[in-house]
Amino acid sequence: MSLRLVLVRHGETDWNRERRYQGQRDTPLSETGRAQAEAAGRLLAREQFQAVWSSPLRRARDTAAAIAAPKGLAVRVDEAFGEMRFGQWEGLTVDDVSARFPDLHRQWQGTPHLVAPPDAETLDEVRARTLKGLEGLRAAHDGQTVCLVTHGVTSRVLILEALGLGLDRIWSLHVSLTGITELEFRDDWAVVHRMNTLVHLDQLPQTR
């Protein structure tokens, strides 16, 4: 069984620019985010996707639509690929969280696999549902190439899985808005073919 997965993080939202924890909040793409999504769609137009999948959150769905539309594909949605639920941190800026939860925030930055924000998912829980979603993609698209549009944490979980690394390394990975990563999963191995490609953003102002 094999699957080639082209992984794309969604485009920018206003909350990304404001450095707010979004989690499960259904924030829309900003004007810049829409331009990023369209640029990703143009770059990926040459790819032979059999399907385009997305998180159910509209910032991901709208990014996926910009990639799927030129190919005449419908966007398929799976809740397994939604962003981590950040609980009480959702809607707060990074500075807000650092001020209100100083000890927990330091732990989250240093040992994120051992802690979770109040009322949030743990990274283990995010990993479990994300990998269950990956199993579903592999079963449904054996031997095919699929595009998946998702989020910062869920993207990192999938990349760590391909690299054979644990959740303690999650902040070792930089996953940019509309960054493109290509993974290949087989029964006995996985490989990263490209990582966080941003060439499609070269002509866009202030996108990084």
Strand order in the sheet with 190-197: 75-77, 51-54, 144-150, 2-9, 180-186, 190-197
3-class DSSP string for the chain: CEEEEEEEECCCEHHHHHCECCCCCCCCECHHHHHHHHHHHHHHCCCCCCEEEECCCHHHHHHHHHHHHHHCCCEEECHHHCCCCCHHHCCCEHHHHHHHCHHHHHHHHHCHHHCCCCCCCCHHHHHHHHHHHHHHHHHHCCCEEEEEEECHHHHHHHHHHHHCCCHHHHHHCCCCCCCEEEEEEECCCEEEEEEEECHHHCCCCCCC
Q: What pLDDT does residue 117 have?
A: 97
CATH code of the domain occupying 2-85+121-201: 3.40.50.1240
Catalytic residue (choose from 10, 141, 151, 200): 10
Q: What pLDDT does residue 207 have?
A: 45
Q: How confident is the model at residue 206 (pLDDT cuts 50, 70, 90)?
A: low
- The tokens of 6 are what? 């082209």
pTM over 0.85: yes
Catalytic residue (choose from 12, 38, 83, 182): 83
* Average pLDDT of the chain, as a whole number: 96
pLDDT per position as a tens digit, 96-147: 999 999 999 999 999 999 999 999 999 999 999 999 999 999 999 999 999 9
Percentage of the chain surpassing pLDDT 70? 99
Residue 204 contacts residue 147 (beta carbons within 8 Å):
no
Segment 75-98 shows an average pLDDT of 98
Domain positions in the chain = 2-85+121-201
pLDDT per position as a tens digit, 47-68: 999 999 999 999 999 999 999 9
135 is known as an active-site residue: no
10 is known as an active-site residue: yes
Angle formed by the axes of helices 123-140 and 152-163, to 10°? 70
